[in-house]
Amino acid sequence: MNQQLLQIAKDFGSPVYVYDSEKIIFQYNRLTSAFKSVKNLKLNYAVKALSNISILKLFNTLGSGLDTVSIQEVKLGLTAGFKPEDIIYTPNGVSLEEIESAAQLGVQINIDNLSILEQFGTKHPNTPVCIRINPHVMAGGNTNISVGHIDSKFGISIHQIPHLLRIVENTNMTINGIHMHTGSDILDIEVFLYASEILFETAKQFKNLDFIDFGSGFKVPYKEGDIETNIEELGEKLSKQFNLFCKEYGKELTLAFEPGKFLVSEAGVFLAKVNVVKQTTSTVFAQIDSGLNHLIRPMLYGSQHEILNISNPNGRDRFYSVVGYICETDTFANNRRIPEITEGDILCFKNAGAYCYSMSSNYNSRYRPAEVLLHKGEAHLIRQRENFEDILKNQVELNF
């Protein structure tokens, strides 16, 4: 594998994102089989995690749906060949106009505040709507990605259900789905099951449901021996709860999830070249040809991506702080043990499939990297590296 990655860095240049379709398919099938006892299961891949159109097309071949959060993601999904009914649109804080545009495209609308629910229901009583509930559960690996607690901006509070029901009655709209997403990197499946019970209790108050969407937030391992959400155990327990609920409800509902990280995080690596090895009085820095403009997760969430020196995998371990070339502190690893690094070596950052390229920017007027998909043993370029024209593309130059 290392040789293949080195060859990709040589052929396509660095830095470069590389994704493995086999791993994506493996994770998709793993999740599906964990919930095999549920009759109607729908996995809606969370586009935000990795939104390259070739990745979306790959998910389409698997029978996946899509979870989208912006009208642009909806359009990307449709362009990738998804049917509108296989796309759920879950925005937060967007205008009524944007929601109406998405509804016109025929996708499933998911609304997370009472103001828009009332406005939308009044104007479009015949468009069924899903509602995003805030179950007031603290879950997630970092405060920025804990979104189901009482102070969160997401979802409609479970305590506001009576108000919500009055809106539904007054507007004559139909609620066909109920949804929650409490956070990312949820380790404890008990938290998940507890939040699900709250969702079932809420669901009983709606008579026309077709599906219940449990969001996502599964934690994936970041290094060997790392703990992860026990999907198989969650599948067994939640399926049981869900099937019981359906019996009580009197209808075979669809159980939906919208995983991002679980499906693509481990499938991706980020390759960057070491420009400079800099010894200071206290530290040895390995400075790569990248920075927070390409991979911001360590700075934003404190995520610790495993870093391999694929140019010298059997070298003697030494301590390095791996940093970028950006004009502010962009530390990927602090005094980390890595096989001896020489300038020109290629470092491989693991877990680079989710929220890496999709959060990249042109900060410092740098180009965004290329993306490559390894599929059936072959490396395919699925996004070109940007160039100087891209930097200037939308700028309007005044001549003084």
User: Of the candidates 116, 196, 261, 287, which one interacts with ligand PLP according to CB under 6 A?
Assistant: 261
Smallest distance from the beta carbon of 353 to ligand PLP, in angstroms?
Answer: 10
Residue nearer to ligand PLP on the CB measure, 110 or 293: 110
Residue nearer to ligand PLP on the CB measure, 259 or 324: 259
Q: How many CB atoms lie within 10 A of CB 276?
A: 12
User: Of the candidates 38, 41, 46, 167, which one interacts with ligand PLP according to CB under 6 A?
Assistant: 46
Q: Which stretch binds ligand PLP (CB under 6 A): 121-129, 252-260, 270-278, 339-347?
A: 252-260
User: Of the candidates 118, 210, 258, 371, which one interacts with ligand PLP according to CB under 6 A?
Assistant: 258
Residues with catalytic function: 327
User: Of the candidates 15, 121, 259, 291, which one interacts with ligand PLP according to CB under 6 A?
Assistant: 259
Contact 274, 308 (CB under 8 A): no
Contact 305, 321 (CB under 8 A): no
Residues 116-135, interacting with ligand PLP (CB under 6 A) = none
Strand 129-134 and strand 175-179: the pairing is parallel
Total number of residues that touch ligand PLP (CB under 6 A):
16
Residue keyed to tokens 């043990």: 337
User: Of the candidates 27, 113, 216, 229, which one interacts with ligand PLP according to CB under 6 A?
Assistant: 216
Q: CB neighbours of 85 closer than 8 A, spacing ≥ 6? A: 106, 107, 108
357 is in an annotated binding site: no
Residue, CB closest to ligand PLP:
260
301 is in an annotated binding site: yes
By CB atoms closer than 10 A (0-12, 13-18, 19+), residue 280 is: exposed
Q: Which stretch binds ligand PLP (CB under 6 A): 24-32, 198-206, 260-268, 299-307?
A: 260-268
Cα 9 from chain centroid (whole Å): 25
Picking from 302, 215, 231, 217, the residue whose alpha carbon sits closest to that of residue 261 is: 217
Structure-block tokens of residue 244: 């019981």
Structure-block tokens of residue 252: 């075979």
Cα 118 from chain centroid (whole Å): 29
Site string for ligand PLP, 173-202 (x = CB under 6 A): --------x--x------------------
- The 3-state DSSP class for residue 186 equals strand
Contact 89, 108 (CB under 8 A): yes
Residues 218-237, interacting with ligand PLP (CB under 6 A) = 218
217 is in an annotated binding site: yes
Would you list the DSSP string of 91-134? -SS--HHHHHHHHHTTPEEEE--HHHHHHHHHH-TTS-EEEEEE
Binding residue numbers? 217, 297, 301, 328, 355
Binding residue numbers for substrate? 297, 301, 328, 355
Binding residue numbers for pyridoxal 5'-phosphate? 217, 355
Q: Can you give the binding site for ligand PLP, defined by CB under 6 A?
A: 46, 49, 67, 90, 181, 184, 215-218, 258-262, 354
